[in-house]
Amino acid sequence: MKYLVALSLLFSSIVSFSQSRILVDGLFDEWEEHPVVYADATGDGGFLGIDFLQLKIHNDDEFLFFLLEIGAEINLQDLNNITVYLDTDDNTSTGFSISGIGADLVYNFGNRGGIFYQSGSVFEVAHIDIGLVTAPTVTSDRFEMAINKNVTISGSPVFQSDNLKIVFKDDIPNGDVLPAVNEEVAYTFSTTDLAPLPAYSIQKPQEADLRIISYNALSDGLFDQSRIPAFTRIFQATQPDIIGFQEIYDYSSAQVANQMESILPSAAGQQWYHAKEGPDCHAISRYPILASALIPGYNQNAGNGAFLIDLPGVAADLLLIVAHPPCCTNDSGRQIEVDLMMAFLREAKAGNGPIPIAADAPIIILGDMNFVGDNRQLETLLSGDIADESSYGPDFTPDWDGNDLLDSHPYTTGVPFSYTWYRAGSSFSPGRLDYIIYSGSNLMLQNNYALFTPGLSQDSLDAFNLFSDDAVIASDHLPVVSDFAFKNVTAQQDLLPQQHLEILNVYPNPAYGWTEVSFTTQQKDLVIIQLVSQEGKETTVLRQEVINSGEHQFQLDTSNLPLGAYFLQIQTAEFTDVEKIILF
């Protein structure tokens, strides 16, 4: 199912959904109102400690959801033998016989693969074949799981009945089984109405907000000619103020800034400031970068970056940490680097180290954290609870008000998940690897999402000149977008350059035949209103006249123009303002 995203809306809440909407996000809150389908006996688990406790089940029109408590803290996508057996055709005589059911779909989570039985044939399946998503990506003793109930394999629907029977088993000798012998777990798909997915706005809801993007560009992908068009459309749609890049190894920060200039050209008085630390961590900013420093890594070839950014109108400069700890099974290396980041922050707050910061300075830590193992690493990053105090110093409270830092926890556009990494060809199913973490004492999260273009409706893709596969072509990591307002600082408009000419509104947009433009100027001047094609090759002048200072509205006839995406440009002798517009 696709969901229409408004072009630009101001939402009263970042997440607004009823408890009947299950979101596979690793938070579990929405499961509280759903009954336990089966409570397993305790103490009957195998020697590895897997002891199933309880199971909940739900569905929407696209996915079948499970919440499984397993009695031990594990990584669900590795080093375990938990297997789900699903009788999907309500026929005990078909499929794999186990515990009194005929399982047509079998999937082993630790081995990351399974089997589909259909009409005497056997098909191997991966996560992508059944739309499998699980959460959390880090270790836990309970997990959410989603399987797409509309998928087909070799032309046959996987789910051929609304009535299911389910078995979970720890597939080792004497491993625990849910349900117990001579009992069964049955479930029937429901058709109840569901609340919408969490709200977000691809554009900033308030122009004065600060838009931060964390983006792993996958092996210098920002300079890969085959991927540059996808990056270009993504950045032109999202319009960041500050970007924290990872995995740009072979290019300097100046080269990255120049590439961003070609994608998002600077207006008068603007530029892209830049700095790089460590092997691959870049800060690219519309605001001056006053200082940068390397935060050492777990070995001499690793490390993360700290950057001090001057935000006009904010009393204290922003401390931005761009991080890319080591991947995969290197839990010890990740914990060392997280400990080092927090030790750096502790010293910066105390006025020490290479970048001392002022009291109440905003703090943002972002990047591809590679949190795919022990959940202790995320706990350290949020709470300041350093694992190796003997090497990296004492614990501390990282926010200025004595609280933990906050996790922005973005939802993925158009799907009921919160993953930020997606690679269809990998044996690992989509997961949450990328984070934006911030100081809640002085930053207010206004809008938040991970841009997954395959989840957007065609209307939304067209409105922002995006292609459905842009996000997965550009990188295997999604761009994570967060918009912040500031607490207890001078007026938010001070973040913006002084505008002598400003477009206030374009409505309707997308437009059919006509649109009304309102704008303001601070002096009498000759104003030219024109449409520039998306490629910048063709310009159509819509209006040209001398106007007085103040606010103005003009209705513009666009009925004779080709359909598509344009830039509406209003220009005086000294100033220009631009707004994207869609004609359909």
For the cut 70, the answer to whether the pLDDT of residue 498 exceeds it is: no
Q: What is the mean pLDDT of residues 217-230?
A: 98
For the cut 70, the answer to whether the pLDDT of residue 475 exceeds it is: yes
Q: How confident is the model over 163-180, as pLDDT tens digits?
A: 999 999 999 988 999 999
Q: Alpha carbon of 240 to those of 114, 209, 286: distances in Å?
A: 41, 11, 9
HEC string for 143-156: EEEEEECCCEECCE
Q: How confident is the model over 122-137, as pLDDT tens digits?
A: 999 999 999 999 999 9
Would you state the CATH architecture of domain 501-583? Sandwich (2.60)
Can you give the pLDDT at residue 43? 85
Q: How confident is the model over 438-460, as pLDDT tens digits?
A: 999 999 999 999 999 999 999 99
Q: Where are the domains of the chain?
A: 29-188, 213-494, 501-583
Instruction: Write the CATH number of the domain with boundaries 29-188.
Output: 2.60.40
Mean pLDDT of the chain: 91
HEC string for 184-204: CEEEECCCCCCCCCCCCCCCC
Same fold, 29-188 and 501-583: yes
213-494, superfamily in CATH? Endonuclease/exonuclease/phosphatase (3.60.10.10)
Can you give the pLDDT at residue 535? 56
Can you give the pLDDT at residue 534? 61
Q: What is the mean pLDDT of residues 523-539?
A: 75
% of the chain beyond a pLDDT of 70: 92
Lowest mean pLDDT among 245-259, 330-344, 556-570: 556-570
Can you give the pLDDT at residue 191? 85
Tokens of 477: 């990591």
Report pTM: 0.81
Which is more confident, 584 or 138?
A: 138
Q: What pairs with residue 121 in β-bridges? A: 118
For the cut 90, the answer to whether the pLDDT of residue 12 exceeds it is: no
For the cut 50, the answer to whether the pLDDT of residue 59 exceeds it is: yes
Tokens of 283: 């800060």
Can you give the pLDDT at residue 125? 97
For the cut 60, the answer to whether the pLDDT of residue 3 exceeds it is: no
- Closest residue by Cα to residue 86 from 160, 141, 24: 160
Can you give the pLDDT at residue 196? 86
Can you give the pLDDT at residue 102? 97
For the cut 90, the answer to whether the pLDDT of residue 117 exceeds it is: yes
For the cut 60, the answer to whether the pLDDT of residue 9 exceeds it is: no
Q: How confident is the model at residue 574 (pLDDT cuts 50, 70, 90)?
A: low
Q: Judge whether 284 and 272 are in contact, CB under 8 Å.
A: yes
Can you give the pLDDT at residue 315? 86
H helices of 421-542, in order, are 458-463, 470-474
b/e code 447-467 from CB counts within 10 Å (16+ = b): bbbbbbbbbbbebbbbbbbbe
